[in-house]
Structure 1
Amino acid sequence: MLKQIPNIITSLNILCGCVAVLFAASGDLITASLFVFLGIFFDFFDGLAARLLNAQSEVGLQLDSLADVITSGLAPGVIMYQMLNLSYFGHMQSLTDTFSMDGWNVGFKNYMPLIGLIIVIASAYRLAKFNVDTRQTSGFIGLPTPANTLLILSLPLILQFQFSDLAESIILNKWFLIGITLVSSLLLNAEISLFALKFKTWDFKSNAVRYIFLILCIVLLVLLKFLAIPIIILLYILLSLINHKEHQEGTKYTKNS
């Protein structure tokens, strides 16, 4: 029974993702975001539980990826779909409205919010690659789906809790949202090396980039709240690139010594 605890936690992630999709489809993006956050919480702890209980399994690995397709793929895709509806029409709508006869009369514009679902496809492809890519045992190649999900979730949260005319003009700009959709989908599958936040040891020297990143995250979140999330994602990518370059140079120096 203990061996099934990680899979039960993963199943809770799936449940949270499904509930989040239902709320997002109905236009309640804040509650949807709450359930996505909860799902990501379970996503973190299922792996931890598997390691503590020595219960890693191939089924658990596949189930974890399937859960992420829902919580960190489908849910943010539907949220982006609704954000684009807000941008184009000033209100959220259901897929029934999108494909109704009235929608047909509006023309191609009515279907533009469906661009948000590119995130679902890109996330699923990224997760499929992760399962067969032997290079991603200690780090990531491409932006992890939970990180991309947090980026997407930050948009409605900023509008709700840190509203300003400037934030509204930027976030609800259709080209900004389309750009975020396309760029984030590319980053999910880009050939860039990003560090993982898993600590094998607790010493500062071997985990310097992780400690620095976590400290900066705390400071930014305290100062900027939800506005900090896009900055944190950008910081994560930049620190990863710097760390990877230093690692390559260190390896090259060692070989030449």
Structure 2
Amino acid sequence: MNIKAQIPNLFTMLNLFSGCVALVFVSNAQYEWAFYFVSLGIFFDFFDGFFARKFGVAGPLGVQLDSLADMVTSGVVPGYVMFVLLRDYHAFGIESYVPFLGFVITLGACYRLAKFNIDTRQSDSFIGLPTPANSLFFTSLPVIADYFHQDIDLGIFYDKWALLLMTFLSAYIMNAEIPLFSLKIKNFSFAKYKLQIFFLTVSILMIVFLQILAVPLIILFYVLLSVLNNMVNKKASV
């Protein structure tokens, strides 16, 4: 057995395990721990690809395993989080079947992952929001609600229409034909990667000053900055 070939798969399995653990924490309303394990799963997800490229062992099995693991950590978990948010905030006064619409996030992530596997345009950048970023966005929401409910107005968490809008919008953005700039910096050059450096600098400052509240804001900032960058590039090419 080629040990090197199994190292990336081990990290993929750790990603899947982290997602399963996160599901348990969500079911127990331990949202902070769920967020930590989703973050840990995404960390493992990064390194499975890193080691596959480093050892030259990338192959179709790894691709399939990676998507299956992401389907749990970045598909089922955020969908379940939204289901719980819609179900447990009794102030909504909504029928019992409405919370199941939270799993639209899971459906969108599934379609995104399947499309990603056959889309050769996304080798160095992304088209549509990556599922890990989407998962971080939604798993951070109940943590933010717990942390800041006494300090800032979090009425959005008690508005069923706002939650449902975010749910359907996320499924769309994950699959929309929106090019998002790559965060991979291969050969450092300020001129070449000034957009990435600007984004990372702003993101770090947001984390320092806003803590967990920075997570969804960073993801929104990433999408908006990408859209703005696309408009600038399109205008420059005319």
TM-score by shorter chain over 0.5: yes
Contact 1:86–1:172, Cα closer than 8 Å, also in 2:
no
Question: Is 1:222 matched with 2:208?
Answer: yes
Q: Percent identity?
A: 44
Counterpart CA distance in 2 for 1:173 and 1:232 is 22
2:164 equivalent in structure 1: 178
Aligned-pair distance for 1:249? 4.3
| TM-score, length of structure 1 as denominator length | 0.86
User: Which of 163-172 and 21-30 deviates more?
Assistant: 163-172
User: What is the aligned-residue RMSD (CA, Å)?
Assistant: 1.8
1:126 equivalent in structure 2: 112
Question: Is 1:240 matched with 2:226?
Answer: yes
2:17 equivalent in structure 1: 15
1:97 equivalent in structure 2: none
1:95 equivalent in structure 2: none
| TM-score, length of structure 2 as denominator length | 0.93
Deviation >4 Å, runs of 4+:
none
Q: List alignment gaps of at least 5 residues for structure 2.
A: none
Q: Which of 110, 120, 136 is the aligned partner of 2:96?
A: 110
Counterpart CA distance in 1 for 2:43 and 2:221 is 21
Question: Is 1:204 matched with 2:190?
Answer: yes
Aligned residue runs from structure 1 range 136-155, under 5 A: 136-155=122-141
Offset from partner CA, 1:101-156 (integer Å, 9 cap, x none): xxxxx9x7011111111111000000000001111111111111011111101211
Offset from partner CA, 1:137-181 (integer Å, 9 cap, x none): 111111110111111012111112222364432223211111111
Contact 2:91–2:158, Cα closer than 8 Å, also in 1:
no
Question: Is 1:160 matched with 2:146?
Answer: yes
Call closer, same or farther: CA 1:247–1:201 in 2, change over 3 Å: farther
Question: Is 1:49 matched with 2:35?
Answer: no
The structure number with the bigger radius of gyration is 1
Q: Which of 65, 69, 72 is the aligned partner of 2:74?
A: 72
Contact 1:12–1:39, Cα closer than 8 Å, also in 2:
yes
Counterpart CA distance in 2 for 1:203 and 1:19 is 39
Counterpart CA distance in 2 for 1:47 and 1:246 is 31
Counterpart CA distance in 2 for 1:82 and 1:167 is 21
Contact 1:159–1:167, Cα closer than 8 Å, also in 2:
no
1:93 equivalent in structure 2: none
2:85 equivalent in structure 1: 83
Aligned-pair distance for 1:89? 5.8
Aligned-pair distance for 1:7? 0.6
